[in-house]
Structure 1
């Protein structure tokens, strides 16, 4: 289906959201990707991926309460939807199945 395929970076973003659980918002996702993958990403690239994932129905977002540390602004928290979990599982199974088909090197 057009528009439902998952790119590598989008997969990494979704996995980071799952790792962070209830603490998944822009800055923590960006830091998690940098820490785990050694990849420094721009805020713009991350927000583009988050927007596309939300449009595909793979993630959802909601705003937290305003905080004084942020000048009254609210954080936008992300979570992976059931559709997103199913898509991640399919991608994992496809990748593992293809690895299993590679002839052993001697």
Structure 2
């Protein structure tokens, strides 16, 4: 797995997959990130992040059967691995520790 930290967008991709039940293909992941983040996400950026996370062992993928209509393509589904869960837990602990004591700096006037 390595010690390489997760980037912000990688976090969003992994958390979107968890929100979708731990396994999803790219289109719902894009929608989940857009809905929760409130901004447009390029599908290509998600696809690149999915492949990078898979190479790092944080996701595994499988190809589903093609759609039943002519020219239908099989979707590649991505699933969270135990290594990803460990990374997310560690990252959350680190961020919570770093934020500790700073709440007063971010209160609305």
Normalised-by-shorter TM-score class: 0.7 to 0.9
Deviation, structure 1 residue 41 = 1.0
**Cα distance in 2, alignment partners of residues 87 and 70 from structure 1:** 41
TM-score (norm 1): 0.87
Matched, 1:24 2:24: yes
Residues 84 and 101 of structure 1: is their aligned pair in 2 closer, same or farther, counting only changes over 3 Å? same
Q: Which residue of 2 aligns with 1:42?
A: 42
**Structure-to-structure mapping, 1:86-105, within 5 angstroms:** 86-102=86-102, 104=104
Which one has the bigger helix percentage?
A: 1
**2:22–2:80 CA contact under 8 A, matched in 1:** no
Deviation, structure 1 residue 22 = 5.9
Q: Which residue of 1 aligns with 2:33?
A: 33
List runs of 5+ in structure 2 lacking aligned partners. Answer: none
**Cα distance in 2, alignment partners of residues 88 and 65 from structure 1:** 30
**1:66–1:74 CA contact under 8 A, matched in 2:** yes
List runs of 5+ in structure 1 lacking aligned partners. Answer: none
Across the aligned residues of Structure 1 and Structure 2, the Cα RMSD in angstroms comes to 2.3
Which one has the bigger strand percentage?
A: 2
* Structure 1 ranges of 4+ moved more than 4 A: none
TM-score (norm 2): 0.85
